[in-house]
Amino acid sequence: MESIQIKTASKQYPVLIGKKAINELPELITHELNHLNKILIITDEKVAALHLQTVKDALIKTGKPVLHHVVPEGEHAKTFDVFYECQSFCLTQQINRKSLIIALGGGAVGDLAGFVAATFMRGIPFIQVPTTLLAHDSAVGGKVAINHPLGKNMIGAFHQPEAVIYDLEFLMTLPLKELRSGFAEVIKHSLIADNELYLWLKSNIVDLNDITDEQFLTMITKGIGIKAKIVEEDEKENGIRAFLNFGHTLGHAVEGSMGYGNFTHGESVLIGMVYALKLSRKKVDLDFKLDEFIDWVSSLGYQITIPTRLEHAMLLELMKTDKKSVNDAATFVLLNEVGSPLLMDIADSELIEEMAEMI
């Protein structure tokens, strides 16, 4: 079992990572949140069938009443309608400020349940229980949100969890597409912060179907450790936390244009990372073996080109509405070198030119 302490200006909390980590949840609640009168699990349809009963069985030890509310799978959970349904459920079940929400699922459920917790009665506590590799990024740091047709995660808040419980056994049920989505965020962490981790990933992860428990523990622990250091310094994304959006400016535009849920977050971000790496070579002379990178990620099943059906002008406008962008310009996270990111506004003409080369 690995433990990482997240320290921000507003809160400190533990991240517990390992097999059977869910067994730590009742003791944590009893010791740290014993005043609770009720626990609500928010999860999605697929995760409910796989893991809901396991979590409920663990929570019996707390002696608290446990409710659950099931939402649609994936990005379909992050809508105004589903958010409203969750709030209505909380009201009808008399959830209050002495209640706890548990987000059981991937990044989408974590974002939704966290935003419900952040806004219900002006904020109640919640715990993240991730069930996907992708959620190693989203479950830590307190960014919670829902989507709008005009932009991903544009309606949200900063609301830190009380804890993150990362049971690696939950990853064993993930389909390959979801592993691929999550691994893109592991790659992202290595590129912005840790060249040794990047080289380790490239040497050791050659088939996403054959990742070992030890490899999962290594990549998740190192990825969360990288995010923890950044969040501790910049909780509310006023500075270096924006570096965590490497690949996301174009990635979010691709994901939204393809229709949320039709193209996974990680697959979209991977396209965005290739785009940002190409821009980095042009704009700041990044010395990086891009061909080797493309060969590696392609062998893992990633698409590295922009889908041909997407219009460049539409992608450009979406990139300009991204949360990082200001002054009507598209702002990108680029790399001076692996482990050394920077922010740069880039002219429309250059962005269109580079998009044309990625079809």
SS3 95: coil
- Which single residue is written with the structure tokens 């190693």? 136
Please check the confidence at residue 115 and state whether its pLDDT lies above 70. yes
Please check the confidence at residue 263 and state whether its pLDDT lies above 90. no
Q: Which residues make up each annotated binding site for NAD(+)?
A: 73-78, 107-111, 131-132, 143, 152, 170-173
pLDDT of residue 63: 95
- 14 falls in which pLDDT band (50, 70, 90)? very high
pLDDT of residue 126: 98
- 2 falls in which pLDDT band (50, 70, 90)? very high
Q: Give the mean pLDDT of 11-21.
A: 96
What share of the chain has pLDDT > 70, as a percent? 98
What is the identity of the amino acid at 187? I
Nearest in space to 117 (alpha carbons), one of 77, 70, 153, 157: 157
- 259 falls in which pLDDT band (50, 70, 90)? confident
Q: Which residues make up each annotated binding site for Zn(2+)?
A: 185, 248, 265
CB count within 10 Å of CB 316 equals 16
Q: What confidence tens digit (pLDDT) does each residue in 30-78 have? A: 998 989 999 999 999 999 999 999 999 999 999 999 999 999 998 899 9
Q: What is the mean pLDDT of the chain?
A: 94
pLDDT of residue 344: 95
Please check the confidence at residue 290 and state whether its pLDDT lies above 90. yes
- 152 falls in which pLDDT band (50, 70, 90)? confident
Q: Give the mean pLDDT of 332-343.
A: 97
Q: Give the mean pLDDT of 158-169.
A: 97
Whole-model pTM above 0.95? no
Q: Give the mean pLDDT of 282-295.
A: 97
Q: Distance between alpha carbon 128 and the CA centroid of its chain, in Å?
A: 12
As a whole number of angstroms, the distance between CA 123 and CA 125 comes to 7
pLDDT of residue 328: 64
Please check the confidence at residue 9 and state whether its pLDDT lies above 60. yes
Please check the confidence at residue 223 and state whether its pLDDT lies above 60. yes
Name the CA dihedral angle for 130, 134, 140, 142, rounded to a multiple of 10 degrees.
-100
Q: Which residues make up each annotated binding site?
A: 73-78, 107-111, 131-132, 143, 152, 170-173, 185, 248, 265
- 326 falls in which pLDDT band (50, 70, 90)? low
Sort 296 into a burial class: Cβ within 10 Å, 0-12 / 13-18 / 19+.
middle
pLDDT of residue 67: 98
- 174 falls in which pLDDT band (50, 70, 90)? very high
What share of the chain has pLDDT > 90, as a percent? 86
Using an 8 Å Cβ cutoff, are 230 and 240 in contact? yes
pLDDT of residue 151: 82
Please check the confidence at residue 325 and state whether its pLDDT lies above 90. no
Please check the confidence at residue 346 and state whether its pLDDT lies above 80. yes
> What single DSSP character describes residue 260?
B
As a whole number of angstroms, the distance between CA 28 and CA 17 comes to 14
Q: Give the mean pLDDT of 233-238.
A: 92
Which domains are delineated in the chain?
2-173 (3.40.50.1970), 179-357 (1.20.1090.10)
